[in-house]
């Protein structure tokens, strides 16, 4: 059991509990059979003690699984050793009992623990047969042998029923999981399609934004060019006539004070207009620089 995964341990615990129930059933039927045959009270007491221990193991197997597993199979081994002669040895019910026990060992354990239990069983089979004398074995009548054979058949049919139910239950779980996976796959496919659609919408929106920015940039460039043309026109077609007016004023100044006063006012106004045009041109150039950046 060392190093086994939690899933294996959980499964073996379920099978072990199932085996405990069948072991108790087997021992109860054996006690009833012994009472019916009026066998020695010590044999019946040992069987009842075994039943009590098996029932006790049902309370502790979840927390002390390895200990309970070794206890149950050790108990069955001791029971076979004690009852070897009364079971009739190899010519009695021992082969049936060993066959049932070994099958349950195989399905409730794995790894080194399984090898250990099977190895002990094999050693005891040949050791006990060698130790006990054949003349000490109590012959078993055909009815008892048939009864034990029938009980072992019933006990061994239990694992078949158990594994059949486990198979259908596992298959149902797998089908449910498969359906969930299909639903999850469909949901992922839907989300993927939705993301693809959103990506296409975002790309279209990006293209529209780029076109809008390009259009605004072209309009801005056109406006800047217009302002540049306007600045050029101010510099050449407005300031030039103003300069000529200023020059003419300087040329036509006379000694008449009243006329000179009027000409000076015109000169001042043209000077103010010239400054205003320079400021306007400078503002246009600055605005062109900012928008160009």
Tell me the pLDDT tens digit for each residue of 98-140. Answer: 777 787 788 777 778 788 888 887 787 777 666 665 555 666 6
Tokens of 249: 């004023």
| Contact yes or no for 151/30 (Cβ under 8 A) | yes
| Contact yes or no for 228/284 (Cβ under 8 A) | yes
pTM over 0.85? The answer is no
pLDDT (mean) for 49-76 = 82
Tokens of 131: 């130790």
* Residue 240 pLDDT > 80: no
Rounded to whole angstroms, what are the CA distances from 139 to 94, 233, 273?
12, 137, 144
The per-residue pLDDT for 244 is 66
Q: Which DSSP symbol is given to 140?
A: -
The per-residue pLDDT for 238 is 61
Phi/psi for 141 (5° steps) reads -75, 165
**Alpha helix segments (H runs only) across the chain:** 6-37, 41-60, 65-82, 94-108, 111-131, 142-233, 239-252, 257-292
| Alpha carbon distance 190, 186 (integer Å) | 6
Tokens of 58: 């049902």
pLDDT (mean) for 5-17 = 72
The per-residue pLDDT for 3 is 44
* Residue 170 pLDDT > 50: yes
* Residue 1 pLDDT > 50: no
The per-residue pLDDT for 2 is 42
Average pLDDT, the chain: 74
| Alpha carbon distance 31, 41 (integer Å) | 10
Residue 226's Cβ-side half-sphere holds a number of Cα atoms within 13 Å equal to: 6
More confident residue, 11 or 250: 11
């Amino acid at each position: 059991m060392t190093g086994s995964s939690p899933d294996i341990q959980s499964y073996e615990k379920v099978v072990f509990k199932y085996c405990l129930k069948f072991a108790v059933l087997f021992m109860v039927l054996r006690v009833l059979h012994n009472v019916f045959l009026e066998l020695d009270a010590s044999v019946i007491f040992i069987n009842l003690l075994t039943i009590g221990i098996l029932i006790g193991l049902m309370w502790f197997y979840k927390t002390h699984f390895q200990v309970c597993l070794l206890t149950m199979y050790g108990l069955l081994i001791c029971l076979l050793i004690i009852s070897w002669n009364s079971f009739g040895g190899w010519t009695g019910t021992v082969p049936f009992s060993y066959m049932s026990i070994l099958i349950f060992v195989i399905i409730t354990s794995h790894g080194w623990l399984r090898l250990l239990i099977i190895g002990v069983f094999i050693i005891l089979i040949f050791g006990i047969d060698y130790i006990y004398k054949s003349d000490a074995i109590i012959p078993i009548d055909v009815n008892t042998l048939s009864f034990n054979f029938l009980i072992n058949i019933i006990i061994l049919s239990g694992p078949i029923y158990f594994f059949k139910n486990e198979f259908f239950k596992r298959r149902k779980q797998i089908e449910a999981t498969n359906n969930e996976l299909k639903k999850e796959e469909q949901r992922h496919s839907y989300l993927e399609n939705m993301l693809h659609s959103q990506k296409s919408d975002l790309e279209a929106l990006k293209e529209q934004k780029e076109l809008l920015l390009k259009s605004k940039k072209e309009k801005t460039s056109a406006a800047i060019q217009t302002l540049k043309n306007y600045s050029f026109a101010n510099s050449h077609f407005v300031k030039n006539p103003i300069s000529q007016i200023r020059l003419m004023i300087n040329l036509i100044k006379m000694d008449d004070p009243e006329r000179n006063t009027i000409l000076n006012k015109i000169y001042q106004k043209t000077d103010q207009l010239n400054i205003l045009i320079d400021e306007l041109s400078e503002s246009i150039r600055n605005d062109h620089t900012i928008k160009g950046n």
